[in-house]
Amino acid sequence: METSLAILAGIFGLGTTELVVILIILLVLFGGAKLPGLAKGLGQSIKEFKKATDEDEATAKPDAENKVDPKDTHGNS
């Protein structure tokens, strides 16, 4: 299971150095007290996004299974 930082790095193509710099900037801007709340909110957002994409894929699969072949609909006998 990937961590949220690894997921963000994969999405935005960021390396470890860039993530550390961003973390330091966030620490300076928001302070140590607010960072846990921000991280929790980010984690919940990623969790909800994954859940929504999984649900979307689950609803798309039955449609693909019931796909009608166009050759069968033109009355070829």
More confident residue, 23 or 4: 23
pTM of the complete model: 0.44
Measured on CA atoms in the order 51, 37, 9, 29, is the torsion positive or negative? positive
Does residue 10 fall inside a structural domain?
Answer: yes
Question: Which domain covers residue 23, as residue numbers?
Answer: 4-62
- pLDDT of 9 higher than 60: yes
Asked, for residue 75, whether it belongs to a domain, the answer is: no
pLDDT band at residue 12 under the 50/70/90 scheme: confident
Asked whether residue 61 carries a pLDDT value surpassing 70, the answer given is no
Q: Is residue 69 part of a domain?
A: no
- Using alpha carbons only, give the angle 7, 11, 12 rounded to the nearest 5 degrees: 120
Q: Is residue 67 part of a domain?
A: no
| Per-residue pLDDT at 23 exceeds 60 | yes
Q: Are 46 and 1 in contact (CB under 8 A)?
A: no
pLDDT band at 54; cut points 50, 70, 90: confident
Residue 73: inside a domain, yes or no? no
Using CA atoms, how far apart are residues 32 and 5, in angstroms rounded to an integer?
A: 18
Instruction: Look at phi and psi of residue 67 and say left if phi exceeds 0, alpha if psi is from -120 to 50, else beta.
Output: beta
What is the number of domains present in the chain? 1
